A and B are shown apart, each in its own frame.
Chain A
């Protein structure tokens, strides 16, 4: 695989952009990737099923 030989000077000291900080925070991503479908798909879906009135 290719290796890039030129690194632009000063990359080390530049502040890391906010988006990159989010993408580098693996456990935040893990949390989001589980919380979102759990709430929007599973919990919401089950609440709709549970609220179906029982036949008499």
Chain B
């Protein structure tokens, strides 16, 4: 008989097995974030010209490990927890096949450890993209394959839970919007993992000598179907978390379920095609293919992101105005709970994702402009704005909600928690802006020594970047360290709370953090009350536009976007002077 517990604080239902899985996955995520953060520090201190910490070999090894632990292991473990939360808890349903979910979890753990072992043995410093013909050890690929199989199982458990919920009639009407967002993430994840299998299994066979040749262009095309799409899992997930937090903190309802779901549908249909923006300077594929996939189709997905970016603050504004914060255009925002890290983290994630990550992404995804910054530090500048400022910060924000609700512990150091999102954000804003600045001046990504000392001593060639570029890399170093301090604060607060936070439930002990259930008395076999309130997908948005402040924000966004776009075209014109 399925057992459920009701969280007295939030009213959320937790199915016993699903709860354990959410905890195990979330804790694994934070452990890998900690590892990734230590590695980020080493990478950053090496790219900071005056420090230049690591020797070249170690730099490339550590950079490979940083990318993989942060982008794959931290993010995807956390996403598994979100999938189980969005299906089981939000639909008030038992989780389908918890045993399979545990198998998936252990495969992911074994895979992650295997790949890390391969990297730190030193002969797999191939960066997370592992482009052929650069060889890594077989167990590097094998670990990634095991990890992916585990994640795929998690996706099927999610879909299975949707089916169980429907079959057992746990909800009325359509699934809630947050669950719909998780479904979008799950669908994109299945495509991502399938593409990964198509490319990584042959590459594994190549590394053990069973296949003699893999075409590099082919590799890049299929690898990026995985590499890019996996970023879109993150986008779909963190947008779902934005909606969830707006509902949790403000009781905000989406301005229009129909519009928000329509935007998610655009994600499902078009977001993955943008994978082609990684291939924009590759020979071998036509401009028709490149431009179709990165422009016509992809702009529909960008439109979807702008819709989400508009409707989430719009919903918050509407909820705040209903509470009486109606003065002027921005009282609703000024009077928002800025000292609650659940809100501040989420809101800054939204703003930074749009202004820093979104705008630069669209601009650099334009075929002609891409050539200016291809393979420069502009690229990691852009994606730290999406995956760190956007996704990671959103995940951090929801964690502050989950520690009491899911883990039944009070947060320790609430004063520190209040500051954490700000320190992290200030660090990341400067870090990404100055990386992009250095990239615009040509400083390469994935490069150990921007002074090219070896080239001059060995080959007698000299090349020097402008002094500004070096200065910018210094600022990248300092602001990178600041953001890492912000990240360390998060890890400290979360780990500290799980270990030493005041118990909100007497049986929430040490092992309960890793998935051991609470005392039997917390759970009951009675089925949760059926989830009512069918999200009516109404025919019209609410009458008029009830969020003038959000409208102003949107206009500011569009103007920034247009200006930045034209600056880049102007800049392109000066890269190739015509006389």
* Residues of A near any B CB (own CB < 8 A): 1-4, 7-8, 11, 17, 19-20, 22-24, 26, 29-30, 32-34, 36-38, 40-42, 44-46, 48-49, 52
Contact = CB atoms under 8 A, between A and B. Distances in A.
A44 B289 contact: yes
Contacts of B180: 23
A-side binding surface: helix, strand, loop or mixed?
helix
Contacts of A49: 215, 217-218, 221, 284-285
Given A1-B247, A11-B536, A33 B269 contact: yes
A52 B283 CA distance: 10
Contacts of A7: 532-533
B268 A32 contact: yes
Contacts of B370: none
B276 interface: yes
B289 A48 contact: yes
Contacts of A40: 273, 292-293, 297
Contacts of B418: none
Nearest to B536: A11
Interface stretch (B39-47, B190-198, B372-380, B457-465): B190-198
Nearest to B286: A48
Nearest to A36: B269
Interface in B133-182: 159, 162, 174-175, 180
21 contacts: A4-B533, A20-B174, A26-B162, A26-B183, A29-B183, A29-B184, A29-B187, A29-B265, A29-B268, A30-B187, A33-B187, A36-B273, A37-B191, A37-B273, A40-B292, A40-B297, A41-B272, A41-B276, A42-B222, A44-B289, A52-B284
Contacts of B248: 1
Given A19-B262, A37-B275, A45-B221, 17 more contacts: A7-B533, A8-B536, A22-B265, A24-B174, A26-B159, A29-B184, A30-B159, A32-B268, A32-B269, A33-B188, A40-B292, A41-B276, A42-B225, A45-B276, A46-B222, A48-B284, A52-B284
Nearest to A45: B221
Contacts of A23: 174, 180, 261, 265, 537
B10 interface: yes
Contacts of A32: 268-269
B258 interface: yes
A46 B11 CA distance: 51
A1 B286 contact: no
A16 to B, nearest CB: 9
Contacts of A46: 218, 221-222
Interface residues of B, number: 52
Interface string B255-270: 0001001100100111
Contacts, number: 104
A24 B222 CA distance: 30
Most B-side CB within 10 Å, residue of A45, A46, A52: A45
Interface in B233-281: 247-248, 251, 253, 258, 261-262, 265, 268-270, 272-273, 275-276, 279
Going nearest first, the 3 A-B pairs with the smallest beta carbon separation are A37-B272, A33-B187, A2-B251
A54 to B, nearest CB: 11
Nearest to A42: B225
Contacts of A3: 532-533
A36 B297 CA distance: 11
A42 B187 contact: no
B285 A33 contact: no
B183 A41 contact: no
A33 B292 CA distance: 17
A23 to B, nearest CB: 5
Contact of A1 (B159, B194, B251, B273): B251
Contact of A34 (B175, B191, B286): B191
B466 interface: no
Interface in B190-223: 190-191, 194-195, 198, 215, 217-218, 221-222
B539 interface: yes
B93 interface: no
A4 B276 CA distance: 44
A49 B217 CA distance: 8
Contacts of B20: none
B548 interface: no
A50 to B, nearest CB: 8
Contacts of B183: 26, 29
B187 A34 contact: yes
A7 B258 CA distance: 17
B64 interface: no
Given A11-B536, A26-B162, A46-B218, A33 B284 contact: no
A23 B260 CA distance: 11
B125 interface: no
B534 interface: yes
Contacts of B190: 30, 33-34
B229 interface: yes
Given A29-B183, A41-B272, A48-B289, A11 B534 contact: yes
A1 B11 CA distance: 8
Nearest to B186: A30
A11 B272 CA distance: 36
